[in-house]
């Protein structure tokens, strides 16, 4: 009897450890994705990290319910996107943040830096003006060089839909950037 109980407890414990290990792997490989998705909405590294953390916490709490573990990234993207949008909506200091210079990693010279910052700010404004469904496609295509197939997998959409949305989004962006 005791052996049987012990075996059940050991099995349960090992399964628990397997799940934790698996989540750890997912966390390592998806942390940048979650951060960038949050950043694309919030455009503030600190806030983006907060939101990404929250997304991971939510994902962790219901990781077991995720039947298809290969869909973790898609799941995480949706959670992060939703949380970031909510955060943005509840953030009353949005207008103040928009007035601040946009963070950029490409700043070779002061003049180029100013031009690049201005261009980046213009692009962000254009992206912000897109409807959500087009914006998400553009952002995901721009993160980690995802191709159409990967974006379709992340959003669980047909590739044709992603392609057409990406085309529409680019058209709109070009119009807005001119």
Partner 1 sequence: MKPDRANATTSDTSLDREIEAILSVEPSPEFVSRVRTRLGNAPAPGWMMGWTSLAAGTVVVAVVVAVVISRPNDVIQQEALGPVATRSMRIDTPSDDVPASPNLNSLKPPKRRKPRVSKAAFREPQMMINPKEAAAIRHFLANPQPERVELSMVTIEPQPLPEYTFTPLPTFDPTAVLQGEFK
Residues within the interface to partner 1 (CB under 8 A): 1-2, 4-5, 8-9, 12-13, 15-16, 19, 24, 27-28, 31-32, 35-36, 39-40, 45, 48-49, 52-53, 56-57, 60-65, 102-106, 119-120, 123-124, 127, 138-139, 141-143, 145, 170, 173-174, 177
- Cα 120 from Cα 35, distance rounded (Å): 18
Measured from the CB atom, is 67 or 92 closer to partner 1? 67
Give the shortest CB-53-to-partner 1 separation in angstroms: 5
If the CB atoms of residues 82 and 170 are measured against partner 1, the closer one turns out to be 170
- Count of CB atoms situated within 10 Å of the CB of 134: 21
Residue 51 CB, shortest distance to partner 1, in Å, is 11
Residue 145 sits at φ, ψ, to 5 deg, of 50, 45
Exposure class string for 115-124: b at 16+ Cβ within 10 A, else e: ebbeebbeee
Is the CB of 29 or the CB of 92 nearer to partner 1?
Answer: 29
* Least Å from the CB of residue 78 to partner 1: 18
- In terms of CB distance, is 92 or 98 closer to partner 1? 98
Crossing angle (nearest 10°) for helices 72-90 and 148-155: 70
Cα 169 to Cα 6: distance, rounded to the nearest angstrom: 58
State the alpha helices, DSSP H only, in the chain.
2-42, 45-61, 72-90, 94-99, 110-129, 132-142, 148-155, 159-177
The residue (of 133 and 174) whose beta carbon lies closer to partner 1 is 174
Q: Nearest approach, Cβ of 56 to partner 1 (angstroms)?
A: 5
CB of 35 to partner 1, least distance (A): 4
């Amino acid at each position: 009897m005791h052996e049987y109980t012990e075996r059940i407890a050991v099995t349960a414990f090992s399964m628990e450890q397997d799940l934790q290990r698996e989540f750890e792997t997912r966390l390592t490989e998806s942390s940048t994705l979650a951060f960038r998705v949050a950043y694309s909405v919030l455009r503030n590294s600190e806030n983006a990290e907060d939101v990404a953390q929250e997304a991971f916490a939510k994902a962790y709490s219901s990781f077991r319910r995720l039947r298809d573990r290969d869909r973790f990234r898609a799941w995480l993207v949706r959670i992060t996107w939703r949380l970031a949008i909510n955060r943005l909506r509840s953030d009353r200091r949005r207008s103040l943040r928009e007035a601040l210079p946009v963070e950029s990693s490409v700043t070779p010279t002061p003049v180029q830096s100013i031009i690049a910052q201005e261009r980046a700010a213009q692009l962000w404004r254009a992206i912000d003006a897109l409807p959500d469904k087009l914006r998400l496609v553009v952002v995901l295509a721009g993160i980690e060089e995802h191709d159409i197939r990967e974006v379709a997998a992340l959003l669980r959409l047909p590739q044709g839909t992603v392609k057409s949305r990406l085309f529409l989004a680019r058209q709109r962006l070009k119009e807005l950037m001119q």
